[in-house]
Amino acid sequence: MSNDFDFGLAGYTPEDEGNQYTYASAYWLSTTRRPAADVGAWHTASFETMPEPWVSVERFDNETGHEANDLHMVPIRRREFWVMNCTDDTSRYIPHYLDSVSAKTFLAQRGFDINLYRSVRSTVQVLAMVKGLDEPIVLQAKGMVGSHLFRRPTRRSPGGIVYQYVNAALGIAKATSTSAIPHYSFWVGIKAPRDAKGRIKTTEVGQGSSKAYVVMPELMEKLDGMQRQDIVKTFVGRDKQELFQAVYEESKAWADEVRDDFTTMPAVAPVAPPAVRNVVEPIEDEASPF
What DSSP line would sit under 203-257, residue for residue? EEES-GGG-EEE---EESS-STT--HHHHHHHB--HHHHHHHHHHHHHTHHHHH-
Report whether pLDDT(142) > 60.
yes
Report whether pLDDT(127) > 60.
yes
In percent, the amount of the chain with pLDDT more than 90 equals 63
Report whether pLDDT(134) > 60.
yes
- pLDDT in the model for residue 20: 56
pLDDT tens-digit profile of 84-106? 999 999 999 999 989 989 999 99
Q: How far apart are CA 235 and CA 276, in angstroms?
A: 81
pLDDT band at 1 (very low <50, low <70, confident <90, very high): very low
Q: Are 176 and 169 spatial neighbours (Cβ–Cβ below 8 Å)?
A: no
Q: Are 23 and 17 spatial neighbours (Cβ–Cβ below 8 Å)?
A: yes
The reported pTM is 0.81
Average of pLDDT values for 245-267?
89
**Closest CA relative to residue 14, chosen from 45, 52, 35:** 45
pLDDT tens-digit profile of 16-34? 444 455 799 999 998 887 7
Q: What are the counts of helices (DSSP H) followed by strands (DSSP E) for the chain?
A: 7, 13
- pLDDT in the model for residue 275: 62
DSSP 265: P
C-alpha 191: how far from its chain's center? 18
Q: Are 57 and 106 spatial neighbours (Cβ–Cβ below 8 Å)?
A: no
DSSP 194: B
Crossing angle between the packed helical segments 143-150 and 161-176, to the nearest 10 degrees: 0
Count Cα atoms within 13 angstroms, Cβ side, for 210.
3
Task: Please provide the DSSP assignment of 84-128 as one string.
Answer: EEETTS-EEEESS---HHHHHHHHHHHTS-GGGEEEEEEEEEEEE
Supply the mean pLDDT for the chain. 85
Residue 226: count other Cβ atoms within 10 Å of its Cβ.
Answer: 16
- pLDDT in the model for residue 274: 64
Q: Are 192 and 215 spatial neighbours (Cβ–Cβ below 8 Å)?
A: yes
pLDDT band at 244 (very low <50, low <70, confident <90, very high): very high
Cβ contacts of 24 within 8 Å, gap of 6 or more = 17, 44, 46, 47, 135, 136, 137, 138
pLDDT tens-digit profile of 31-77? 887 776 688 999 999 999 999 999 999 988 878 899 999 999 999 99
Per-residue burial over 29-43, b = 16 or more CB atoms within 10 Å of its CB, e = otherwise: bbbbeeeebebbbbb
